[in-house]
Amino acid sequence: MNKKIIIYVLGWILNIEAVFMLPPCVVALIYKEASGIWFLAVAAVCGGIGFLCTRRKPTNMVFYAKEGFVSVALSWIVLSFFGALPFYISKEIPVFEDAMFEVISGFTTTGASILPDVESLSKCMLFWRSFTHWIGGMGVLVFILSILPLAGGYNMYIMKAESPGPSVGKLVPRVRTTAKILYGIYLFMTALEVVLLMIGGMSLFDSLTISFGTAGTGGFGIKNNSMAFYDSYYLQGIVTVFMILFGVNFNVYYLFLTRHPKDALFSEEARAYLGIIGVSILLITINIYRGFGSVFSAFHHAAFQVASIITTTGYSTVDFDLWPEFSKGILVVLMFIGACAGSTGGGIKVSRVVVLLKAVKKELDSLLHPRSVKVLKLEGKPVEHQVMRSINTFLGAYIVIFIFSVLIVSLDNFDFTTNFTAIAATFNNIGPGLAGAGPAKNFSQFSPLSKYVMMFDMLAGRLEIFPMLLLFAPSTWKKS
Amino acid sequence: MKIIIVGCGKVGTTLAEQLNKEHHDIVIIDKNAGVVNSISERIDVMGVVGNGAVNKVQMDAGIEDTDLLIATTNSDELNMLCCLIAKKAGNCHTIARIRNPEYDSQIGYIREELGLSLAINPEMAAAMEIARLLRFPSAIKIDTFAKGKKEILKFIVPDHSVLNNMKVRDVLVRLKCNVLICAIEHNAEVIIPGGDSIISAGDKISFIASPVESNEFFKQVGIDNNVIKTAMLVGGGKITYYVAKMLENTKIKVKILEQNAERCNELSELLPRAMVINGDASDQELLLQEGVGQTDAFASLTGFDEENIMLSLYAASQSKAKLITKINRIAFENVIDSMNLGSIIYPKLITAETILQYVRAMQNSMGSNVETLYKIVADRAEALEFKVVNEPCIVGIPLEKLELKDNLLVAYIMRKGRFISPRGKDTLEEGDRVIVVTTVTGLNDLKDILR
């Protein structure tokens, strides 16, 4: 383990975080809020430590998969720790684990909140909360890759550890250029949403924070009743469309940009994703039609909630906890499926689900025809054995962590739906669950132990489990 | 530049590694998914799995906007096909590894017809390197020009040489050698000499000459003290054949040891002037009998690395001959380098090196009409080959009337296959190729030689 280079990478993370803390300062200046000073202070501390760590380039640039995973996992923890400080020091969130929970929920684009009254926060805190979504959505280390000349062969390890999905491909030969393209698309789509929301009459501050939440598929609202506050079909419609768009694999957009629209349209994962969305909306619309009275209204809210849950955003326009059981059931299933690989969303990922279903079919076939040979394909390409194995292991680890988390949280003695969906909502980076963790409620009632478990789940969910597991595996830190 | 490399053996990997370091965008293609994955994890390149000669695979790798395709798979025919298809699909430069000696005679034709920018034969390249080492053990660096007709050599002027304190203009007159001294490295400075520049001992001198002329020049200058007269080549493979062929017209006597009687017959037929001995080289008795103790050079060129190493070590214990050891597998380089094996030849590295040289020259000539570029002293002095196009401010004007930049020398003019050492009265004509030596780096066009 080359600890020096990990410290070096962490130093850069702190430098970047210091820079990211400047926009909240600007917000504080505009709204003349005293709490902005804490951002400046924490930024200075981050910058200072970061400067010390990055002052000298380590001579030993050995960087393998191990270092990649560990530095990614540690980066996210360090990022969250310093990101929580402004909340804690300013006493706007007086309990430390609550501040940590809130910020981890932000960076991992979960959107689960412990705040009973969001609107009581100052504007700069609200901005920072939503901004963490945007930063976390595409990944901080990917951002660093795109701007810093961290030359060396280790870029791929970092990208692999941070990007969601079973197998990570590059768009262009260089990791750095790939990262730049991804961030370019991300930035452009966010800006587009801001503009469209402002056309609908939303204020700049609101449209910025809402767009950050959509882009990162996070879901922190700045109103107590989330998106229900904006009672406009146009505004909610825009957010629905953008949530779905940000849940698509970004490679698809790149293919559109580079004169390969045909390939983009034939993306198997994107089609499956849109298919699942379509069917879910249809079923829920039929199921909740009676409660809303008009088909359009039912469709609108069904679409919003489906998009919000499958992309793991977690905004809500209505309290879907009051919906019929069938609709709630569909939403819970969507929670696990999640968005496409290579998007900003969480969950198990559509591509994994598709591969798993195909594997089941293949297994059935081989039971009927024991000597049949069939190659599993995704996007027209054979799925390598290694990828298949990693998907299976992922699912195994996923289930184990899930079960243990639910068990620990059960100590708080809430009902099963609350426990189960609270873990589902945090582990899949969604935000609201059902019952006690539903969209109209928040996570403040959980015990500190449960909160720490959920923080771990959020990070593990965002980083696709293995970096976090490796961080806590003793063999990672042993010499050899 | 965007470069596609087909085939990820040692050569392909070395190229990808080096070219990536030099900030090119690399895409690698190989049939073996495992190899592609492991390389694209280690190096910042994009990988495509598939047959590189298939148009769709090339499309996936982005052939349309690629500048160069390098085919280094282990099949000559596949390499040629890759290049042919790439040329049609992407109109890019192409480099193919073609190693079968049967294609040698028609290599020019193949290059022309397939539009290859470069065809490289690893064994040939290795043999060239060995032949150079044997011919000029004291030259530091040798590069060939104009398809091998001219060479650019660098050597250190010995203490008691006639060259010491000689003016450059006197070299031609007093030594009667037709060589062109094109750069002098005196301590840390590099100069392009004029007639009055003075050479002193310890300088590094680069000069251009034909192989025969340079031989003569070395003799005159007095660094023939360790010229090699007899060379023993062990193993009768392709490299040995090429080396012997190259040395045929020199004064070096070649002795070849080969185990296989049939191959011995072949070699003897192909190389009438070489002495071919049928026997096992690991037989010490035989080696001693054939004069391992007296030979000037000993080259271990069998197909087994371990055997080569052992043979060279044995030769070192028996004689003071110049040793050359061929190593195929590039692993544990540092261990091998630390042994007393003389000059070590890695054919794969030499291949990669040759291609790299071409790519660098291509990089330099992107958007310019530099044909080839040789670095004489890294980043400080270079020799460039230009094609003369119809440029009224240059063509037809005597050289003495052209206002050339300082520290710039028009070294040679090639006209219809003949070399002209330009004098003041000579002119450049359309269709000529000129070699320009200069310390002004970054020339893009022949016009740039003017002040």
Test the B interface: residue of A61, A62, A174 with most B CBs within 10 Å: A174
pLDDT at A243: 94
Q: State how far the alpha carbon of A29 is from the alpha carbons of A20, A210, A477, B149, in Å.
A: 16, 21, 45, 75
Any bridge partners for residue B94, and if so which?
B69
Residues 6+ apart with CB under 8 A from B378: none
CB A216 within 8 A of CB A315: no
Closest partner CB to A174 (pick from B25, B33, B41): B25
Answer whether residue B188 shows pLDDT above 90: no
pLDDT at B380: 73
Chain A residues close to B2, C-beta within 8 Å: 173
- Only one residue has tokens 């000499």, namely B193
CA distance A465 to A73: 10
Test the A interface: residue of B3, B44, B59, B68 with most A CBs within 10 Å: B44
Chain B residues close to A386, C-beta within 8 Å: 37
Q: What is the mean pLDDT of chain B?
A: 83
Name the token pair of A472. 């806590």
Which of B396, B429, B432, B428 lies closest to B415, judged by CA?
B432
pLDDT at B365: 64
CA distance A289 to A277: 17
Secondary structure of residue B250 in the 3-state scheme: coil
* CB-CB neighbours of B345 under 10 Å: 24
CA distance A29 to A13: 25
CA distance A208 to A190: 9
CA distance A207 to A202: 6
Residues 6+ apart with CB under 8 A from B104: B121, B124
Chain-centroid distance of CA A87 in Å reads 21
pLDDT at B6: 94
Residue B81, classified by CB atoms within 10 Å of its CB into exposed (0-12), middle (13-18) or buried (19+), is buried
pLDDT at A128: 94
Sheet strands (E) in B23-139: 25-30, 46-49, 68-71, 93-97, 118-120
Answer whether residue B225 shows pLDDT above 60: no
Domains of chain B: 2-120 (3.40.50.720), 138-221 (3.30.70.1450), 230-351 (3.40.50.720), 370-449 (3.30.70.1450)
pLDDT at A158: 72
Closest partner CB to B45 (pick from A157, A173, A176): A173
Segments in chain A below pLDDT 50: none
* CB-CB neighbours of A111 under 10 Å: 30
Share of chain B above pLDDT 70, in %: 94
Is the CB of residue B33 less than 8 Å away from at least one CB of chain A? yes
Q: Do A173 and B2 touch (CB under 8 A)?
A: yes
* A68 to chain B: closest CA residue: B41
Answer whether residue B25 shows pLDDT above 80: yes
CA distance A203 to B107: 72
As a whole number, mean pLDDT of residues B278-288 equals 87
Closest partner CB to A173 (pick from B37, B42, B46): B46
Q: State how far the alpha carbon of B191 is from the alpha carbons of B7, B135, B376, B407, in Å.
A: 42, 27, 11, 7
As a whole number, mean pLDDT of residues B277-285 equals 87
* B3 to chain A: closest CA residue: A173
- Ranges of H-type helices in A222-267: 233-246, 250-257, 261-265
Rg (CA), chain B: 23
Q: Is the Cα torsion angle A4, A6, A12, A18 positive or negative in sign?
A: negative
Chain A residues close to B46, C-beta within 8 Å: 170, 172-173
Question: Of residues A129 and B204, which shows the higher confidence score?
Answer: A129
Chain B residues close to A153, C-beta within 8 Å: 42-44
CA distance A138 to A109: 10
pLDDT at A166: 65
Chain-centroid distance of CA A454 in Å reads 14
Answer whether residue B227 shows pLDDT above 60: yes
Q: Do A153 and B44 touch (CB under 8 A)?
A: yes
Q: Which contacts qualify for B245-252: CB closer than 8 Å, 24 or more apart?
A: B245/B127, B245/B270, B245/B271, B246/B127, B246/B128, B246/B131, B247/B131, B247/B134, B247/B135, B248/B273, B248/B274, B250/B135, B250/B215, B252/B134, B252/B135, B252/B228, B252/B297
Which of A475, A467, A472, A425 lies closest to A450, judged by CA?
A425
> Given pLDDT bands bounded at 50, 70 and 90, which one contains residue B320?
confident
Which of B115, B147, B303, B139 lies closest to B223, judged by CA?
B139
* A175 to chain B: closest CA residue: B44
Q: Do B26 and A384 touch (CB under 8 A)?
A: no
Structure ipTM: 0.74
Q: Do A175 and B40 touch (CB under 8 A)?
A: no
Any bridge partners for residue B383, and if so which?
B374, B437
Is the CB of residue B66 less than 8 Å away from at least one CB of chain A? no
Residues 6+ apart with CB under 8 A from A205: A27, A123, A127
Query: B404: which DSSP letter?
Result: B
Any bridge partners for residue B373, and if so which?
B384
CA distance A442 to A114: 5
Write out pLDDT tens, residues B355-399.
887 887 777 666 566 666 676 766 677 788 787 877 778 888 888
> Given pLDDT bands bounded at 50, 70 and 90, which one contains residue B223?
low
Residues 6+ apart with CB under 8 A from B425: B398, B399, B400
pLDDT at B30: 92
Which of B57, B56, B55 lies closest to B47, judged by CA?
B57
Is the CB of residue A390 less than 8 Å away from at least one CB of chain B? no
Closest partner CB to A384 (pick from B33, B41, B42): B33
Closest partner CB to A156 (pick from B25, B26, B41): B41
CA distance A196 to A38: 32
Q: Which contacts qualify for A464-469: CB closer than 8 Å, 24 or more apart?
A: A464/A164, A464/A165, A464/A394, A465/A394, A465/A397, A465/A398, A465/A401, A466/A69, A466/A161, A466/A394, A466/A397, A467/A69, A467/A70, A467/A72, A467/A73, A467/A161, A468/A73, A469/A397
* B25 to chain A: closest CA residue: A173
* A172 to chain B: closest CA residue: B46
* B21 to chain A: closest CA residue: A152
Q: Do A155 and B41 touch (CB under 8 A)?
A: no
pLDDT at A154: 60
* A149 to chain B: closest CA residue: B23
Is the CB of residue A94 less than 8 Å away from at least one CB of chain B? no
CA distance B95 to B359: 10
Name the token pair of A159. 């990208």
As a whole number, mean pLDDT of residues B43-51 equals 87
CB B219 within 8 A of CB B176: no
Q: Is the Cα torsion angle A149, A150, A152, A157 positive or negative in sign?
A: negative
